[in-house]
Chains A and B, each alone.
Chain A
Amino acid sequence: MAAARLSYVELHCHSNYSLLDGASHPEELVLRARALGYEALALTDHDNLYGAMQFAQYAKAWGLRPITGAEVTLAGGYHLTLLCASRRGYAHLCRLLTHAHLDHERLKPRVEPGVLASHAEGLIALSGCPKGEVPSLIMAGRLAEAEQAARRYREWFGAENFFIELQRNWVDGDARRNRALADVARRLGLGLVATGNVHYHVQERHRLQDVLVAIRHRATLDASHAVRRPNSTFYLRSPDEVARCFADFPEAIRTTVRIAERCQFDLTADLGYRFPDDPVPPGETADSYLRALCYRAAQERYGRLTKAIADRLEEELALVRKHGLSGFFLIHHRILELAREIAAELRGRPCRMPPGRGRGSSVSSLICYLIGLSHIDPLEHNLFLGRFLNEELGSVPDIDLDFPRDLREKLILRTYEHFGRDRVGLVASFPTYRYRSAVREVGKALGLPPAELDRLARLGEGGRAAAVGEELRRLAPARLANPLWRRFAEVVAQIADFPRHLSQHVGGMVISSQPLVELVPLERAAMPGRVLLQWDKDSVDDARFIKVDFLALGALSAVEECLELIEVHRGRRVDLSRIDLQDERVYDAICRADTMGVFQIESRAQGQSLPRTRPRNLEDLTVQVAIIRPGPVMGGAVHPYVNRRLGREPVTYDHPLLEPVLRETLGVILFQEQVLQVAMALAGFSPGQAERLRRAMSRRRSAEAMAELRQLFIQGCLQRGVSHEVAERVFGKIAAFSSYGFPKSHSAAFALLAYQSAWLRVSYPAEFLCSLLNAQPMGFYPPSVLVNDGKRHGVAILPPDVNRSRASCSVEGDAVRIGLGYVKGLSAAMAQEVEAERQRHGPFRSLFDFLERTRVTREGVENLVTCGAFDAFGLQRRELLWQLGLLYRSEGRRALVRQRRLPLSTEQDAAPLPELSAWERMAADYAALGLSPRAHPMSFLRRVLDERFVTSRALERLPDGARVRIAGLVVCRQRPQTAKGVVFLVVEDDDGLVNIVVWPKVYERYRLLVRGEPFLVVEGTLQRRDGTINVVADSLRRLSLARMAPPEARSFR
């Protein structure tokens, strides 16, 4: 016997992108194949290439040669295994899969024989699993037809490209089928090939596979016997085991290697994608046209072109020319022009403001500024270009565009029309199993009691499914004694992060110069008329496609409306790209954490940080935006950074090698790209290895891959003379940071928007508040808290008024008038109808007049009355409600409308009614509007509290350590996973907000109060730290409202 090991390549293998069928991540298959000594591995998911790019990238990174393929479903339901031999074969596979999806009902892909025949070139076909046409006919005893079918495939693909596939998974019938298949092959002169029909990387996963099949059939395991696999042998086999399985067909094993050698198509190489050239005027090239556009815009922006401007522009244009990116910039310019057209249509007037803005590193480019992509003058603000454009550009620069919400929807459709339907596709995403979905679906498949599953799903802290073991221990420890529940926990943990279905990415579109269908298969989205690529954003990125992200950003909607309001009310046109970026008033407010409503820096956590870090410029703000993210928090970066910034501790580095990459962030990791830089500096990773590390962390987190990388990292460190201890410590920080941080350029763009919104808030508080109220839901605080903050900043809040309010909130002088749309029971459309009716036929003259002229529901009218929208008619709210009851009587509104010419007097029925108390008016406001323009509830409750209570404002004068008792309305409850069980409350009283810290022990005692009580009395200790004030609670109780509701109010309705 030859000592050489028999080689084998698996050519039929499913990942979990064979949705609810394959039971291993592509990464797990790759690592297992490598461990088994495979040289190559094919991925053949059912009717898709969802995981193909991810698999190929990963396989290459680990030194395994990836083969791209798919198991397609043919008309008649037969399966066929297809592998790409060449680029042409790949294009054909893409076309076949696209045909399977787009020409058939959604989720029922089928390839028609005629289409298969005309796209066979470049593909190698294997006759398939037992559900293939040839094996199926054999098992049905129709041998002649089986042979005929094989003959047909041979004709389509050619005798050298069609193979008879043998599988041996220890299923009854395998031996008989394989003998018959071998006969057919012999008679037709076809090669035999052995495959494993792999559905998971290791045998233990067969349980998960069973569960996936049960979930797919919406059945329990017991009820899905007939459709489940009969045993656990559908795993990746070692070459030795394959040799034993196919001892009677050794040539079938050798053929696998031969086929693998012929599959030379490399998905990770250039696919030939090109972004389209936007048509340029005759006589111009893309380069010359971009240059002309920039110079024209520069003339407009700057008036006079200084040498500095011209130099920078020439430098950038040269780089753009060098990398052939002129067309790329022109496309973005085109998209912004389309957006501008849409904005003009939507707003009914020409749009002066650029309709969208870039985030990310594009803000550093002068070209981007000039073509309207970025809103920041890079020269004035001394922004470093290098990250965006440099001499050795690895990939196309990233440009994400943020748009106001309404505009974005229309822009997606307009882009389709402009570039052509076959050249534009939406990027896909794959929602994955999370804790709740995994618990519910796995539990159902195992037949566990629904009530108990529901409890486990609801009470769990959520998040990753892998944590199910901990949750079970916490919530139902007794269950762990039961083997079925232990299996349950095991499977739930395994299903974590498995893709569940194909969905649409939030805003990514790919635009291509040639039909996309040659590059990637297309598939229907659930939303009619939309077409998805079969790849998610990471795969699209790996393919070096250009993805244009159209994102909807509520803050941008608010800023845009704010500018409009300023122009309408003050006659001032604010150009945000020209505002003073060093306005001290703005930074003073930021350092006081007086930032409610400001983009990115308004949250409770930010409020705790701002007075410590005290940002005084855009660079500082860039750090500030990045620092309150799970990455830096988990990576333990926040406290060292704050202390170092305050000069309380020296800036140190875990190792001198880290100084160059961490100097700007005082020795801690704050930005995503620093993870890569650290790995390169400390462990000597190549850029490719560092990228692999980033992937392992940011994508499907695979424990095995991380363990390998950790090993590599530590070895690399040791080689560079870094101690084992330091290497471990730094790797720990990187792993904790993971991917949950912002890249610096992204932080910079967000910091700019944060500054701009802070500037608007300081400069035009009324317009700012109004635009926030109209852009809801967004941000951290509810409208009721926003209006109280507005009042503290001198903005009066006016209640809704049927004759003054518009549908949305509006500005009156220095006050904000609440819009009719805020009244519960009035839809946005109805509010607009009321406004339009008033504009057409003049003010409403009475409640009766209003009822006659509008179709607002009774509930809506009642709420309008309750919140004072009819107060201007001189009647009290109770009288109006009484009247309303009489007007409706028992006939209801319809009868009233039909008989509206009858004289209708209700005066004789009127009853003298006491006026609502101020407290009742306030309570009615909250009920009807969700906020009160008039008063804070605590201003009434204050009267019944004794002098031991202090107000939020009074806290500012008390010393650290003082015992305090406060009362207020809870506006925010947080129990961050990063805070080890500590609960943070924000309580609002008539003077402002108070931050409360509830330690776990206290929380356990007062859990129900903390979770559900709206008004709380808190006793505790005042804690002052670097300008922040917190109350550390030691006891809590509810604040009774009983004394506030007078008895007659109760008997009224």
Chain B
Amino acid sequence: MVEDSGAQGSHPRLRALNQPQPVRVEADAEGRPLAVVLRSRRRRVAGVQETWRVEEEWWRERAVSRQYWRLVLEDGQVVTVFEDLVEGGWWRQRV
């Protein structure tokens, strides 16, 4: 048996995910963000640094399933947003 093979080195603790804010995101048909609206200003996505999936708490009433995106916007700002794959909707995550 191997200890810990499930651990992912840099995976964020669940606690850090706890305070997401709703955010407007425009995405293509496959869910890829094209633009993010921050403080009423639409900014195009210039690049994707990373995208990852979190699935958790399937044993609870409300399971967690999110697709995260760490995006570089046209003005150089880096934001992390996720799409709630259970209920729909986009949220911004402040790390």
Query: Can you list, as one digit per residue, whether each of A25-67 has a CB less than 8 Å from chain B (1) or not (0)?
Result: 0000000000000000000001100000000000000000000
If A171-B11, A446-B59, A487-B58 touch, whether A233 touches B6 (CB-CB below 8 Å) is no
Q: Do residues B5 and A233 form an inter-chain contact, with CB atoms below 8 A?
A: no
Cβ of A139 within 8 Å of any chain B Cβ, yes or no, is yes
Q: How far is the CA of A567 from the CA of B70 in the complex (A)?
A: 88
Q: Do residues B6 and A175 form an inter-chain contact, with CB atoms below 8 A?
A: no
Q: How far is the CA of A79 from the CA of B2 in the complex (A)?
A: 10
Q: Which of A46, A129, A225, A232 contacts B1 (CB 8 A)?
A: A46
- For B1, list chain A residues within 8 Å (CB): 19-21, 46, 107, 216
- For B50, list chain A residues within 8 Å (CB): 172-176
- For A3, list chain B residues within 8 Å (CB): none
If A207-B58, A221-B59, A483-B61 touch, whether A172 touches B52 (CB-CB below 8 Å) is yes
Q: Interface size of B by Cβ–Cβ distance < 8 Å?
A: 28
Q: Do residues A173 and B55 form an inter-chain contact, with CB atoms below 8 A?
A: no
- For B55, list chain A residues within 8 Å (CB): 206, 230-232
Q: How far is the CA of A207 from the CA of B65 in the complex (A)?
A: 13
Q: How far is the CA of A73 from the CA of B58 in the complex (A)?
A: 31
User: Assuming A73-B2, A172-B12, what are 6 further A-B pairs, CB within 8 angstroms?
Assistant: A107-B1, A140-B9, A174-B52, A209-B6, A230-B56, A487-B59
**A443, chain B: closest CB distance, angstroms:** 11
- For A206, list chain B residues within 8 Å (CB): 55
Q: Do residues B2 and A229 form an inter-chain contact, with CB atoms below 8 A?
A: no
Q: How far is the CA of A207 from the CA of B57 in the complex (A)?
A: 10
- For A79, list chain B residues within 8 Å (CB): 2, 5
Q: How far is the CA of A379 from the CA of B77 in the complex (A)?
A: 93
Most buried by A among B12, B52, B56, B68: B52
Nearest 5 pairs of A and B residues by beta carbon: A170-B53, A231-B53, A172-B52, A231-B55, A46-B2
Within 8 A of A (CB), among B4-56: 4-14, 49-56
Q: How far is the CA of A232 from the CA of B57 in the complex (A)?
A: 12
Measured CB to CB, the residues of A under 8 A from B are 18-21, 46-47, 73, 79, 107, 129-131, 136, 139-140, 170-176, 206-207, 209-210, 213, 216, 221, 225-233, 446-447, 483-484, 487
- For A225, list chain B residues within 8 Å (CB): 13-14, 56
If A21-B2, A21-B6 touch, whether A233 touches B53 (CB-CB below 8 Å) is yes
Measured CB to CB, the residues of B under 8 A from A are 1-2, 4-14, 49-56, 58-61, 67-68, 70
**A67, chain B: closest CB distance, angstroms:** 20
Q: How far is the CA of A228 from the CA of B10 in the complex (A)?
A: 13
Q: Do residues A170 and B9 form an inter-chain contact, with CB atoms below 8 A?
A: no
Q: How far is the CA of A171 from the CA of B12 in the complex (A)?
A: 10
**A175, chain B: closest CB distance, angstroms:** 5
Q: Do residues B49 and A130 form an inter-chain contact, with CB atoms below 8 A?
A: no
If A171-B11, A207-B58 touch, whether A21 touches B52 (CB-CB below 8 Å) is no
**A287, chain B: closest CB distance, angstroms:** 48
Q: Do residues A139 and B9 form an inter-chain contact, with CB atoms below 8 A?
A: yes
Q: Do residues A230 and B11 form an inter-chain contact, with CB atoms below 8 A?
A: yes
* 14 pairs, A vs B, C-beta closer than 8 Å: A21-B1, A21-B6, A73-B2, A131-B7, A139-B9, A139-B10, A171-B8, A172-B11, A172-B50, A172-B52, A174-B50, A175-B51, A484-B60, A487-B59
Q: How far is the CA of A46 from the CA of B59 in the complex (A)?
A: 27
**B78, chain A: closest CB distance, angstroms:** 13
- For A446, list chain B residues within 8 Å (CB): 59
Q: How far is the CA of A206 from the CA of B53 in the complex (A)?
A: 13
Q: Do residues B59 and A484 form an inter-chain contact, with CB atoms below 8 A?
A: yes
Q: How far is the CA of A483 from the CA of B7 in the complex (A)?
A: 27
Q: Do residues B5 and A46 form an inter-chain contact, with CB atoms below 8 A?
A: yes
User: Whose C-beta in chain A lies nearest to the C-beta of B58?
Assistant: A207
- For A18, list chain B residues within 8 Å (CB): 2, 5
User: Whose C-beta in chain A lies nearest to the C-beta of B52?
Assistant: A172
Q: How far is the CA of A229 from the CA of B54 in the complex (A)?
A: 9
Q: Do residues A230 and B61 form an inter-chain contact, with CB atoms below 8 A?
A: no
Q: How far is the CA of A171 from the CA of B54 in the complex (A)?
A: 8
- For B12, list chain A residues within 8 Å (CB): 172
User: Whose C-beta in chain B lies nearest to the C-beta of A175?
Assistant: B50
If A226-B13, A228-B6 touch, whether A175 touches B59 (CB-CB below 8 Å) is no
If A170-B53, A171-B52 touch, whether A213 touches B14 (CB-CB below 8 Å) is no
Q: Do residues A21 and B7 form an inter-chain contact, with CB atoms below 8 A?
A: no
User: Whose C-beta in chain B lies nearest to the C-beta of A233?
Assistant: B53
User: Whose C-beta in chain A lies nearest to the C-beta of B4?
Assistant: A227
Q: Do residues B52 and A170 form an inter-chain contact, with CB atoms below 8 A?
A: yes
**A7, chain B: closest CB distance, angstroms:** 24
- For B49, list chain A residues within 8 Å (CB): 175-176
Q: How far is the CA of A46 from the CA of B55 in the complex (A)?
A: 24
Q: How far is the CA of A1014 from the CA of B51 in the complex (A)?
A: 69
Q: How far is the CA of A745 from the CA of B43 in the complex (A)?
A: 80
Q: How far is the CA of A402 from the CA of B11 in the complex (A)?
A: 56
User: Whose C-beta in chain A lies nearest to the C-beta of B80?
Assistant: A172
Q: Do residues B2 and A227 form an inter-chain contact, with CB atoms below 8 A?
A: no
Q: Do residues B2 and A170 form an inter-chain contact, with CB atoms below 8 A?
A: no
Q: Do residues B8 and A173 form an inter-chain contact, with CB atoms below 8 A?
A: yes
**B29, chain A: closest CB distance, angstroms:** 14
Q: Do residues A213 and B54 form an inter-chain contact, with CB atoms below 8 A?
A: no
Q: How far is the CA of A130 from the CA of B61 in the complex (A)?
A: 32
